[in-house]
Chains A and B, each alone.
Chain A
Amino acid sequence: MIPLVYYLAGAIALYIIGMYCLASKRNMIRLVIGIEILMNAAHLTFIVFSAYRTVGYIDPLGHAIVIMSIVFAGCVTAVALTIVTYAYRHYGTLDVRKLRRLKG
Chain B
Amino acid sequence: MFTEPLDVLLIFTVATPVVGWVAYRKAYRKILGIYVALGLSVTAYFLYELYREVAEKGVVLIVGQLPFNPPLGACLEIDMLSVFMAFLYTISGLFAAVYSIKYMEHDTGLTEYYTLLLGMIAGMTGVAFAGDFFTLFVFWELMCLTSYALVAFRKQRWESIEAGFKYLIMSAAGSATILLAMSFLYGMTGTVNFAALATSLNNATPDGWLYVTLTLIIVGFGIKAAIVPFHTWLPDAHSAAPSPISALLSGVMVQTGAYALIRILILVFGSMQSMWQMTLAIFAVFTMFGGNIMALSQNDLKRLLAFSTIAQMGYIIFGLSMASLSGLTGSLFHIMNHAIMKGLLFLCAGSFIHQAKTRDLRKLRGIRKTMPLTSAFFAIGVIAIIAIPPLNGFWSELMIVMAGIEAEMIPFSALMLANMIFSVVYYIRVLRMILLEKPTAVSKKATEAPAAMLIPTLILAALCIIIGVYPEPFITMASRAAEALLNLQTYIGSML
What residues of chain A have their CB less than 8 Å away from a CB belonging to chain B?
11, 15, 18-19, 22, 28, 31, 34-35, 38-39, 41-43, 45-46, 48-50, 52-53, 59, 61-62, 65, 68-69, 72, 75-76, 79-80, 83-84, 86-87, 90-91, 96, 99, 101-102, 104
Contacts and interface: CB of A to CB of B under 8 A. Distances in A.
Interface string B130-165: 000010011001001100110010010011011111
B415 interface: no
B186 A61 contact: yes
A34 B173 CA distance: 9
Contacts of B183: 42, 45-46, 49, 62
A49 B191 CA distance: 11
B206 interface: no
A27 B37 CA distance: 41
Given A86-B155, A101-B162, A79 B187 contact: no
A91 B232 CA distance: 22
Nearest to A104: B235
Nearest to A32: B169
A99 B168 contact: no
Interface in B187-208: 187, 190-192
A87 B141 contact: no
A49 to B, nearest CB: 4
B186 A19 contact: no
Interface string B229-244: 0001001100000000
A21 to B, nearest CB: 10
Interface of B: 72, 134, 137-138, 141, 144-145, 148-149, 152, 155, 158-159, 161-166, 168-169, 172-173, 175-177, 179-180, 182-184, 186-187, 190-192, 232, 235-236, 294, 303
Contact of A86 (B134, B161, B173, B232): B161
B270 to A, nearest CB: 23
B192 A65 contact: yes
Contact of A46 (B173, B186, B232): B186
Given A41-B180, A69-B179, A86-B152, A102 B168 contact: no
Contacts, number: 116
Nearest to A61: B72
Contact of B166 (A18, A19, A35, A102): A102
A82 to B, nearest CB: 8
Contacts of A72: 138, 141, 145, 175
Counting from the closest, the 10 A-B pairs by CB-CB distance are A49-B187, A38-B176, A42-B179, A45-B183, A42-B180, A72-B141, A46-B183, A35-B172, A99-B162, A102-B236
Given A35-B172, A35-B176, A75-B141, 17 more contacts: A42-B183, A61-B190, A65-B182, A65-B192, A76-B141, A76-B144, A79-B145, A79-B148, A80-B168, A83-B152, A84-B165, A99-B162, A101-B162, A102-B159, A102-B162, A102-B163, A104-B235
A49 B186 contact: yes
Contacts of B180: 11, 15, 38, 41-42, 45
Contacts of B235: 104
B169 A31 contact: yes
B165 A83 contact: yes
A83 B246 CA distance: 19
A90 B176 contact: no
18 contacts: A22-B169, A28-B165, A38-B176, A38-B180, A42-B183, A45-B180, A52-B187, A53-B190, A62-B186, A65-B134, A69-B179, A79-B168, A80-B172, A83-B148, A83-B164, A90-B161, A99-B162, A102-B236
Contact of B187 (A28, A45, A99, A101): A45
A62 B294 CA distance: 43
A65 B165 CA distance: 27
